[in-house]
Amino acid sequence: MALKVLESFVSDARSCSYLPAEQAELEYRVMLDVPAAKWESMLSKGWRRFGAAYFRPKCPTCSECVSLRIPVKDFKPSRNQARVLRNISKFRLEIGPPVIDEERLQVYQEWHDLQGQKRNWELSSISADRYFYDFAFPHECAREFVYYDDSSSSDRPVIVAIVDETENALSAVYTFYDPKFAKLSPGTGSILRQIEIARSSQKEYVYLGYRILDCASSQYKGRFRPHELLAGRPGEFEEPTWNKIAKQ
């Protein structure tokens, strides 16, 4: 099936949810039937997606959102990251297409409530429809990495990571987890497992979205070293330039 562009627009300016003193605008494309190769090219130019909505920053006065990716063959975990990886490796991992059920919705809600308390997020709930359109919308690249604690009698997921897979990369879309396991750093652990899986699959990169230096919730991304940062916002037919940030 041919790619279908349903809509293309730039959002109205609004207060940035990451840097409230700044005004944010996003470039959007609503598209269906996006081939994996096309999506990989868009990832390399700083695009992200939720469902059928593809977006990247187009803020006129701020450039703090910088795309970050990890070259997996060069990555070596720090001592603390290695400890986190050992902890997360105790859980059973299942990889498949994204699924919607009551357990996932419940874990998401508990995780979101925890983040709301820690980061002053606006309290909200997620419906099954919203979850579908953001995380489980049909796409040939969409994967769900789900972790279970086999020592428990519960079937609830410990961690749910929504991940896109292309020929040469994984892209970490969204991760949430059971708050009871927060001390294990499950978000970091999930990324570390994705790096391991990408390396074993001979992929080149894991994309982590945007690093924002002055946003506390984004700073963890910079601790994955070495990593690469995208220069600017490449156009449709431009070759992107990624600059390596060496291991400290």
Q: In this model, does residue 248 exceed pLDDT 80?
A: no
The whole-number average pLDDT for the span 64-79 is 96
30 within domain boundaries: no
Sign of the C-alpha dihedral computed for residues 195, 66, 113 and 101 taken in this order? negative
Q: In this model, does residue 65 exceed pLDDT 70?
A: yes
**Residue range 33-56, pLDDT digits in tens:** 999 999 999 999 999 999 999 999
Q: Give residue 167's domain range.
A: 65-248
160 within domain boundaries: yes
The pLDDT > 70 percentage for the chain reads 96
Q: What per-residue confidence (pLDDT) applies to 1?
A: 73
135 within domain boundaries: yes
Q: In this model, does residue 118 exceed pLDDT 70?
A: no
Residue 72: which pLDDT band, with cuts at 50, 70 and 90?
Answer: very high
The pLDDT > 90 percentage for the chain reads 85
Record the pTM.
Answer: 0.95
115 within domain boundaries: yes
98 within domain boundaries: yes
119 within domain boundaries: yes
- The strand pairing partners of 55, in sequence order, are 28, 48
CATH for 114: 3.40.630.30
C-alpha 107/C-alpha 147 separation (Å) is 12
29 within domain boundaries: no
Residue 121: which pLDDT band, with cuts at 50, 70 and 90?
Answer: low
**Structural domain total, the chain:** 1
Enclosing H/E stretch for 188: helix 186-200
